[in-house]
Amino acid sequence: MSAAHTRMRRHCACLATCFVLAMAPAMASPTDPPGDAATLDATIGALDGALFDAFNRCADPAQLRVHARYFAPDVEFYHDTGGVTWTREAMLANTRTHACGHYTRSLVPGSLRVSPIKDFGAIATGVHRFCQAGAARCEGEADFAMVWRLRDGEWQVTRVLSYGHRRNPAAESP
């Protein structure tokens, strides 16, 4: 193959790639995440609130089932002190044993950050606090990241990282 022919093929491939990239917004599927940041932030914020409303009441088996529906069957959950689970069922077994009826979770106000993932969903990061059941103060906090997937109009969490568990500095003040 001649050098001129090779350059021509590369040029055509480059033009084709540029065309596809230019047309990508017009070819977006109806399951793409909301286009504007405010809408995506509101959507993920509402999902986070609903997911953890069910979590906070998961001692009730019906609420644990509601909580479970927010997670993909193959969810991966990485917890710095608890280890890794590779399925929704394993994650729920840990939740049922270690969380339900023992503590609740609240989002630290203003900490939630949402970033879109093209053709997939969004990443939510923030800080959450944990309160022992019946306690007046929330003693622990940690950072988190959750990957949300939008498929067929339904949002589900596919990956969770909960890390940097520490004492809540606000709980130490008198």
Q: What is the pTM of this model?
A: 0.78
Say if residue 24 is in the same domain as residue 45.
no
Give the span between the Cα atoms of 170 and 161, in whole angstroms: 23
Say if residue 24 is in the same domain as residue 86.
no
β partners of residue 146: 124, 160
Say if residue 25 is in the same domain as residue 40.
no
Say if residue 114 is in the same domain as residue 158.
yes
User: Could you list the pLDDT tens digit for every one of the 174 residues in the chain?
Assistant: 444 443 334 443 333 333 333 333 333 334 556 678 999 999 999 999 999 999 999 999 999 999 999 999 999 999 999 999 999 999 999 999 999 999 999 999 999 999 999 999 999 999 999 999 888 788 999 999 999 999 999 999 999 999 999 999 887 655
Give the span between the Cα atoms of 78 and 82, in whole angstroms: 8
- Total number of domains constituting the chain: 2
Say if residue 74 is in the same domain as residue 139.
yes
Range of the domain at 168: 34-172
